[in-house]
Amino acid sequence: MRRRLIAASIVALFVIQAIIRFRSDIHHDVAWYLYIAGGLLHGKHLYTDFLEVNPPLGIWLTLPAVWLGSLTGLGSIKVFYSVLLALTAGSLLLVNRYLRLVRDVPGTERAMLCVFIAAVILFMPAMDFAEREHLMVLLFLPWPFLRFARSRGAQPGLAEAAIVGMMAAMAICIKPQSLLAPLGVELVLLLRFRNFRGLFAVENIAAAAFALLYGAAIIIFEPNFLETIMPLGVNAYVPFYGYAHSMIWLFSLHSVLLVGFAVFLWRRTEGPLADIAALLGAAALGFILSYFIQYKGFQYQILPARIFAGIACAAAVSGIVAQMPFARWLPATKFLVAMSVFTVAVDFGFQRQAYPDNGGIFDSGIARYAPKARSIFIASTQVSHGFPFTLNRNFVWASRFPTQWLTPYVASKWQAGTLPSDGIVAHALDWTVSDLVAFHPDIIFIDESSKQFYVPGGRFDYLEFWANDPRFEMLWKGYERRASMNGFAVYTAR
């Protein structure tokens, strides 16, 4: 009866999230990746036809879903959501398996922990569902549980361990600065069990092998990432994108408090669940440090830390419940469960689950001035302006950039007059005008607001910048200004 209730609870959580997902839009970063993957499947090339600032693994991992979406006719978004839900289920099943391999983890507490993990990994991502950090969590989660089970004497199969290790390596390779998370887990294991030979378990060897092969694949198949994109990212992206220092620290506060609460609970429990809480807390701390290494303050970047800190709290609570005499069990459990629910509810209660459709600000302009438009160009520094709008409407995105992400750098070097002798400024001008010439988009939206995100001074004159290219004058004769809407100038092809 208890097993059925637990299974029904988890299934209900999946059903609720599936209903939300299939009625929701998809995060703009993920939509851009799906768009790139579609182009790659039609013969285009990453880092030449698509100037994406991140390493290629996140895009490569979307390719099967986009291919399957095209094959089935279901579309890339629905299939990608389905893949994420399936991966969530697989990750949870592996966690449950490794907890079962540790014989002194009580069945009731294991079940409580699995229900909590299901709730957290399904709902805590909220609008950032399917973001790279969410994918990282799902790929990485089974590995610390496998490492814990092995340290307690379990002997999982070689193939299984290798797959789990490679999944963890995929997670870290998506954001290499997150390497601090598995290092934290291994440090706790060494301090707890003093088994240095355990470092060379199959899952860790497989993880290291995957990381080396991935590095080699970048060198062989995507040399432009190393030669062109990385220098641009270091010089023109990293210094300009992100929030103020106060916001960066504020967004980390809840995760830090959760880790602190996990430590408080961990000191009051014993046994295997205390070890699990320590491992997950160490992973959470590693992900917090990774967030600060990136130092942009985007909320999805702190997601792995929040999730692992929340699960660490749940593991510690389960351990405390398991060791309490029955007479003290009920009141103490009420308090601890209430505190845990409250800390996690901060995430659940104040975050919208469904991703909003931002395309409405452009739909009216298209309907009124270019109802037959098939290609679109949006001069803006926000990916959310172009995506998932472009993907949903099946437009051709008339740019190799997801957004004009070189604009803040250009604005820091030039505002008017003669262009400086600067290679990045020259690239920004040449690539953008070349895209406009090549695609000749049916409709163009240009951000004219005085508060353009990430732009020094708040405003950038795109037309004046593009006019520095001799090709632009002839090109622009083929367009006419139709309106100003929502801070954007609207131009259509004559």
- Please indicate whether residue 121 or residue 319 has the higher confidence score (pLDDT): 121
**What is the rounded CA–CA span in Å between residue 383 and residue 130?**
16
Q: Does residue 100 register a pLDDT over 90?
A: yes
CA 23 → CA 18, 265, 353, distances in Å? 8, 38, 11
Mind listing the pLDDT tens digit for each residue in 330-343?
A: 555 445 454 555 55
- The answer to whether the pTM exceeds 0.75 is yes
The CA R_g of the chain, rounded to the nearest whole Å, is 25
- Please indicate whether residue 101 or residue 354 has the higher confidence score (pLDDT): 101
| Residues whose CB is less than 8 angstroms from the CB of residue 122 and which lie 6 or more positions away in sequence, other chains included | 13, 14, 17, 88
End-to-end CA distance of the chain: 70
Mind listing the pLDDT tens digit for each residue in 273-305?
A: 999 999 999 999 999 999 999 999 999 999 999
Mind listing the pLDDT tens digit for each residue in 22-78?
A: 998 999 999 999 999 999 999 999 999 999 999 999 999 999 999 999 999 999 999
pLDDT at 319: 81
Q: If DSSP codes are grouped into helix, strand and coil, which group holds residue 467?
A: coil
| Dihedral, CA of residue 210, residue 211, residue 217 and residue 220, to nearest 10 | -130
Mind listing the pLDDT tens digit for each residue in 167-178?
A: 999 999 999 999
pLDDT at 327: 41
Q: Does residue 356 register a pLDDT over 90?
A: no
Q: Which helix (H) or strand (E) holds 375?
A: strand 375-379
**What is the rounded CA–CA span in Å between residue 368 and residue 156?**
62
**What is the rounded CA–CA span in Å between residue 305 and residue 348?**
15
**Tokens coding 100:** 């079962």
pLDDT at 50: 97
**C-alpha 57 chain-centroid distance:** 12
Average pLDDT of 132-154?
A: 97
Mind listing the pLDDT tens digit for each residue in 370-385?
A: 999 999 999 999 999 9
pLDDT at 270: 85
CA 186 → CA 118, 192, 286, 375, distances in Å? 24, 10, 11, 50
Cis? peptide before 331, omega within 30° of 0: no
Given its phi and psi angles, is residue 447 left (phi above 0), alpha (psi -120 to 50 degrees) or beta? beta
State the average pLDDT for the chain: 92
**What is the rounded CA–CA span in Å between residue 261 and residue 284?**
12
**What is the rounded CA–CA span in Å between residue 112 and residue 17?**
19
pLDDT at 325: 63
Mind listing the pLDDT tens digit for each residue in 202-253?
A: 999 999 999 999 999 999 999 999 999 999 999 999 999 999 999 999 999 9
CA 317 → CA 108, 120, 276, 291, 456, distances in Å? 12, 15, 11, 26, 48
Mind listing the pLDDT tens digit for each residue in 429-444?
A: 999 999 999 999 999 9
The residue with tokens 């929040």 is: 306
Decide the pairing of beta strands 396-397 and 479-485.
unpaired
Mind listing the pLDDT tens digit for each residue in 61-76?
A: 999 999 999 999 999 9
**What is the rounded CA–CA span in Å between residue 172 and residue 193?**
24
With a pLDDT cut of 90, the percent of the chain lying above it is 80
Q: Does residue 326 register a pLDDT over 70?
A: no
